[in-house]
Amino acid sequence: MGYSFTWKEDGVLRTESKRMPALVTRDGKELFYNQVIAALEGWGDARNDASRAVRFGDGAPFTAEEVAALHDTARHMRSVQVAFKWQAGDLLLLDNEQVMHSRARFTPPRRVLAALKGPPIDRRGASLGVGGASSTAVTTTMPALTLRSFDAMPCVGLGVWKISRETTAAVVYQALLAGYRHLDCACDYGNEREVGLGIALAIAEGVCTREQLFVTSKLWNTFHAREHVEMACRKTLMDLGLAYVDLYLIHFPIALRYVPFDTRYPPEWVDDPHAATPRMELASVAYQETYQAMEQLQRAGLCRNIGVANLTTAGLRDVLSYASIAPAVLQVEMHPYLQQSTLLRYAKAHGIAVTAFSPLGSSSYVELDMATHADSCLTESVVLDLAAKHRRTPAQVVLRWAVQRGTSVIPKSSHEARLRENAALFDFELSQEDMAAVGTLERGRRFNDPGVFCEGMGVFCPIFD
């Protein structure tokens, strides 16, 4: 079978594998599966490009179809990983007919029997720096918006923008433990692999199942060309360790010059960060081309729903004029200082659910010098008075206002107590007068505006009038 093991004196199981063919392509070339998966999955930095990492022995590259098939298989392998506890004296039985690692067919029974030494180590969350056996999962059902596909998108999700890679897995795990089932990710956030680790741990421990989750990701600006959309989605799926995402959005209506995975991933905004004057490089790709490639992703089952982000009513109207699969969701900046009531009304009228990012306003932008502490709606007297009236925090009042408007919200937090606080919105209600009072805070204040911040990258790139 090309596999052997020996027990070391300290109880460690040493294993050795030899190269054994597992797959044969149509033209008779053999794929050595263990090396292929190591090349596809083994790197955690921007150098990894599957099309270059794996080649046949004669130097011929894999086709895109062959690479996609391997990614699908790798995701399946991760999705069926199991975790179990044992005690001294238990036996581990591996049936080679069932275990993919055997890489070859055998006539059963041919089995490996190994004794497990010593007590189990409870590693629940330990390697991620999160709580272990004492943690308690919340099992309450989160209210949800029903999409045109009849999928349910929970009204409160965790946004992972600006959560550090070092803490992302732990934060995602704690959020799922606290009852979150909606995770908002993106290629550009640079932490999808860590999001996947948090999801995998929660599923392994029985906190949730994959089917109970609603995972969103987004297509980045450098992958708008038709030929790049699917590969970008598959890269996201590989990093998340998922066979599909529940929602895939076009992140911005801005097409940038393509940046290969092995050059830099995530590509970010500027074309060459090492240039004397780093700048954005726009690409001539029509939004219609990108959206129609997104439709193909949904047809292929790589995402259950597609949508758009950072569009205006004019942008939505344009998409609806040519879409054969209408957007399920629009994600935009929305908070008391930027209420976008007309856009919200238009989206609802066309069956498009709306997710509000940055629902608490300026807090995520202060450290980026795109806002100041004085820009916070949480210190407004209207919000403070309502917080006192309902015995809630100002953040809970603002988030409750948002969900009562019929939107979902994706606040970001790295703290367990704040995660639970942000989700505790459904045992109180704001009156019509309360809602109207928050409505008086409208200022048209937009914090995330490419028309402003892109000028620092050498391009004036407005997308909002």
Which superfamily does 144-457 belong to?
A: NADP-dependent oxidoreductase domain (3.20.20.100)
What whole-number distance in Å separates Cα of residue 129 and Cα of residue 50? 31
Question: Does residue 227 carry a pLDDT above 50?
Answer: yes
Query: b/e map of 365-376 (b: 16 or more CB within 10 Å)?
Result: beeeebbeeebb
Given a cut of 90, whether residue 363 has pLDDT beyond it is no
pLDDT in tens, 41-62: 544 344 455 555 556 656 667 6
Q: What percent of the chain has pLDDT over 70?
A: 70
pLDDT band of residue 108 (cuts 50, 70, 90) is very low
Per residue in 383-401, pLDDT (tens digit) is 999 999 999 999 999 999 9
The lowest-confidence range among 8-22, 78-92, 94-108, 282-296 is 94-108
pTM equals 0.73
**Counting beta carbons within 10 angstroms of the beta carbon of residue 46, is it exposed (0 to 12), middle (13 to 18) or buried (19 or more)?**
middle
| pLDDT band for position 130 (cuts 50, 70, 90) | very low
Residues of the chain with CATH 3.20.20.100: 144-457
Q: What angle do CA 139, 144, 146 make, to 5 degrees?
A: 140
- How does pLDDT run across 55-99, given as a tens digit for each residue? 665 666 767 677 676 666 666 555 544 444 444 444 444 444 444
Task: Provide the pLDDT for residue 465.
Answer: 84
* pLDDT-above-90 percentage for the chain: 65
Sign of CA dihedral 424, 426, 431, 436: positive
The whole-number pLDDT of residue 189 equals 96
Dihedral (C-alpha) 432, 433, 435, 436: value to the nearest 10 degrees? Answer: 120
DSSP 8-state class, residue 455: G
The CA distance from 50 to 64, in Å, is 9
pLDDT tier for residue 330 given thresholds of 50, 70 and 90: very high
* Tokens coding 36: 């292929």
Least confident of 139-143, 252-256, 271-275, 440-444: 139-143
* Residues 260-285 pLDDT 10s: 999 999 999 999 999 999 999 999 99
- Angstrom distance (rounded) from CA 341 to CA 337: 11
At 371 the pLDDT is 76
Catalytic residue among 189, 248, 258, 287: 189
The predicted structure's pLDDT at residue 41: 54
In terms of pLDDT, which residue wins out, 7 or 126? Answer: 7
CA dist 293 → 243, 279, 314, 395 (Å): 18, 27, 21, 38
For residue 141, the model assigns a pLDDT of: 74
Q: Contact, 237 vs 204, CB < 8 A?
A: no
On the question of pLDDT at 378 being above 60, the answer is yes
* pLDDT score for 370: 76
Q: pLDDT-derived band of residue 116, with 50, 70 and 90 as boundaries? A: very low
Q: Among residues 86, 29, 36, 37, which one has the least CA distance to residue 58? A: 29
Active site residue 189: yes
Give the pair of three-digit tokens for residue 254: 């801005």
The confidence score (pLDDT) of residue 103 equals 38
What gap in Å lies between CA 232 and CA 220, rounded to an integer?
Answer: 8
Q: What is the pLDDT of residue 8?
A: 59
15 pLDDT tier (thresholds 50, 70, 90): low
The confidence score (pLDDT) of residue 93 equals 46
Tokens of 350: 């066309």
Which amino acid, 395?
A
Q: Which amino acid is at 59?
A: G
